[in-house]
Chains A and B, each alone.
Chain A
């Protein structure tokens, strides 16, 4: 009898842990995403930039706010993460990486239409920065998946792949960019 209680307790504890872990890793790919979705291996966290911090901004204040957003996001504090990203955006309102971060956050919050719009807005500031464009198209693709637009998602993933290749080819071009 007692053993059974212990067992119950342990399993409940494990479930709880699993739940916490789920929050902590912020599933940025919606549960509905089909297994066949390409690039499923690349699942950046909500506020984890897939680019080195130095490529995102040369302003340490912006980096500090990004770090804070990431910490908040990882703690499940997405509202607070959004507030920090907006602070960063006030400092560098035309930095496409920051708009991409916000798009990604909205995606994680399940605000798919906003995520798509913000990714597009990021693209509108991106000039020839193919890497951030690729990331934005990936956000758009995931949001479309969640919206049930499989064909649109496929197209978006394809654009992301193409841009990724272009980014590889022109990596040197972007390395020196600091949005301002």
Chain B
């Protein structure tokens, strides 16, 4: 036997006869070839196993919870359907379909695996009345009322593997039979019988190459799959040979079904700017905005036709070529008797039916996605995020996000127009979160909300100006023996010398000094001088040292000028600060992620609600009252143009030197929102907090329709009726006074008789119950603003 020659014999007898030399060379070649084949084998198996499981992380927005009584208009619900890819259908009995009815919609949800288990598809009915859900039923025999429905969460993006490949993994049994038949009829008729290659095809290809024609074709599906693993532009004989060997090897290791399934998920079917579209599952969404199992025959044929050349037969760029190719595929199907003549004729007549704009791939919400990604990077390795198919459930509320984007865009354009500012020079950022749970519902990183670049909500560090003032006032109010809302503050000229810094002479925005002003008035009108004096009296270090307590890591310079916000923070940091004021002194770290679930549906990580008490509730209640004063009668009073006074919004404007930054931070009963407006080059905008950012805030909130702010009164707070100017106390019923909150025991002791002209009226008591809804209809003009505020 040729192969049994011992090695030493080989050397001893080498070159004795030509026959032996040939044998030796053959052996060496064989050894080399074996090594090479082994190398190819390892490579292709790595590629096959590796690619098979390279699944990008999927990121979902919040799941809409629907229940009777929920504030939700039909149009809003239809928007939710759109973002979930539901389609109108006459019966609405298939998953992800709906139909409009007289008072609402009937629809069928999809199966969805949440972090807490699977939720099967349901046939449902929702009706609306007065902008609310009035009925929620399971359609059946008989219909049954449902207390609560959790919709599937809309997908808002993915975290893709290195080459920015995106895919929507499908199992073989999810792929429609006609599609597979079309693929095999067109690309590889002997797929189920050959062992990886088609010798006749190869011979033909070889012949053409040898005779100087172009190198081409003859690829089985297996070969195409191999080619797709190592996408390189050059077509050489070596590559072709490798491809053949690898195809043979693949067939040795894997079943036909495994190869076909991988092929269906792997094959390159188009390009969406930087994102490569791989696999039929994703292509189905990309071209038809529907899952694979809902495609019609001619649509499947279009996709199969694209295998030959995704660029040439791109149905958006070259519809005629794509149509011709589709019909070729249909013809092949007919020839192979996969479809009937009637099916063929019907399908041929249909238009391409491609959706004009591809559903947005990378993410429609790049700013929020970036924030999510940052949070994930703290706990996960980048390659796991890109390949493990993790499912990430986030807090984003598409409705709130939409309102935030719209308001920023429309207001900035309007401001530029009204003030003759060159178009598109203003920029902005918005962050909206839930007051009580700290969940980020919207994040806008710039007026072009789709642009995935500079994210001003996180990355812009802009001077915050007066937004810092509430920390000073809260620190003061925490000492009720010295400070109440009516304590007089000194707003006369101030010169402050601190070693190492130039002398500091803070000025008010109106260039005036106001003498003695009440604490609440100084905050309402954002007086700088009295605030600076108050801060200095309390201690610069003490004030600035409180920032970490409110979740702000950044340490501002230890100068008195920092008391007036001469340091930069990002909008999201400011949100964290105001979240604590809004939530009665409880700090809840802002969250963007609720849960992370593995590809097979097991909960991996939860980010539970965490609350920390950082400021006593009583003084925070007083601060909120003062911040409501900012909106009622102070620098933000024009907010009433957007939101009714009954909303009782608390907020603060921020304006920096030379009008470079325009800020507004505020809160309602259920939401905290921060808006920044300015220029990227930090030049002046000519805008104050009230004329810029606040208008964005107002426009956005008007459309979100927030809950009014009605904080419950802490037990150590009491109301007292006082004279608004002198601060002397009146009897409770005296009309001349205003009702203000005080920490118990700190209300003025000195009483004054009620001025004769104003007799007692029904006591305007604060109702501390949190469920009080503002009526919105009572005549508010007869009372002064503070009575309204606490009424």
Contact = CB atoms under 8 A, between A and B. Distances in A.
A82 B714 CA distance: 27
A118 B771 contact: no
Contacts of A120: 586, 613
B515 to A, nearest CB: 37
Interface string A114-152: 100110110011111000000000000000000000000
Contacts of B434: 90, 93
A161 interface: no
Contact of B115 (A59, A83, A94, A178): A83
Interface string A82-105: 111011011101101000001000
B148 interface: yes
Contacts of B771: 94, 177-180
A79 B603 contact: yes
B436 interface: yes
B147 A127 contact: no
A117 B148 contact: no
Contacts of B436: 89, 93-94
A60 B68 contact: yes
A63 interface: yes
B770 A80 contact: no
Given A86-B437, A124-B584, A127-B770, A60 B147 contact: yes
B768 A124 contact: no
A107 to B, nearest CB: 14
B131 interface: no
A121 B613 CA distance: 8
Contacts of A127: 712-713, 768-770
B670 interface: yes
Contact of B606 (A60, A83, A91, A178): A83
A61 B595 CA distance: 21
Name the residue among A83, A126, A177 with the largest chain B CB count within 10 angstroms: A83
Q: What secondary structure prevails in chain B residues at the interface with A?
A: loop
Contacts of B437: 86, 89-90, 93
Contacts of A91: 65, 67
Interface in B92-116: 115-116
A65 B69 CA distance: 16
Given A63-B147, A94-B436, A126 B608 contact: no
Contact of B148 (A60, A79, A124, A180): A60
Contacts of A20: none
Nearest to B612: A117
A125 B147 contact: no
Contacts of B606: 79, 82-83
A55 interface: no
Contact of A80 (B116, B586, B609, B617): B116
Given A80-B116, A124-B584, A124-B586, A117 B611 contact: yes
A64 interface: yes
Nearest to A126: B712
Contacts of A121: 583-584, 586, 611, 613
Contact of B116 (A64, A84, A128, A180): A84
Contact of A59 (B69, B150, B595): B69
Q: What secondary structure prevails in chain A residues at the interface with B?
A: helix
Contact of B67 (A60, A82, A83, A118): A60
- Chain B interface size range: 35 or more
A59 B670 CA distance: 18
Interface residues of A, number: 34
Interface in B707-746: 712-714
A116 to B, nearest CB: 9
A178 B65 CA distance: 19
B555 interface: no
A110 to B, nearest CB: 14
B68 A179 contact: no
A83 B63 CA distance: 13
Contact of B595 (A64, A83, A124, A177): A83
B147 A61 contact: yes
Interface in B601-651: 603, 606, 608-613, 617
B389 interface: no
Nearest to A177: B771
A124 B715 CA distance: 9
A118 to B, nearest CB: 6
A80 B594 CA distance: 12
A86 B610 CA distance: 11
B603 A125 contact: no
Contact of B712 (A82, A118, A124, A178): A124
Contacts of A178: 771
B669 interface: yes
Contacts of A59: 67, 69
A155 to B, nearest CB: 15
Given A63-B147, A94-B436, A127-B713, A179 B770 contact: yes
B336 to A, nearest CB: 52
Given A90-B439, A120-B586, A177-B771, 15 more contacts: A60-B68, A60-B147, A61-B148, A79-B606, A79-B608, A82-B606, A82-B608, A86-B437, A86-B608, A86-B609, A90-B434, A91-B67, A94-B712, A96-B770, A125-B712
Interface of B: 65, 67-69, 115-116, 147-148, 150, 434-437, 439, 583-584, 586, 594-595, 603, 606, 608-613, 617, 669-670, 712-714, 768-771
CB-based closest 3 A-B pairs: A61-B67, A93-B436, A60-B147
30 contacts: A59-B69, A60-B68, A61-B68, A80-B116, A82-B608, A83-B116, A83-B594, A83-B606, A86-B594, A87-B150, A89-B437, A90-B437, A90-B439, A93-B437, A94-B669, A102-B609, A114-B610, A114-B611, A117-B586, A117-B611, A121-B584, A121-B613, A124-B586, A124-B714, A126-B712, A127-B712, A127-B713, A178-B771, A179-B770, A180-B771
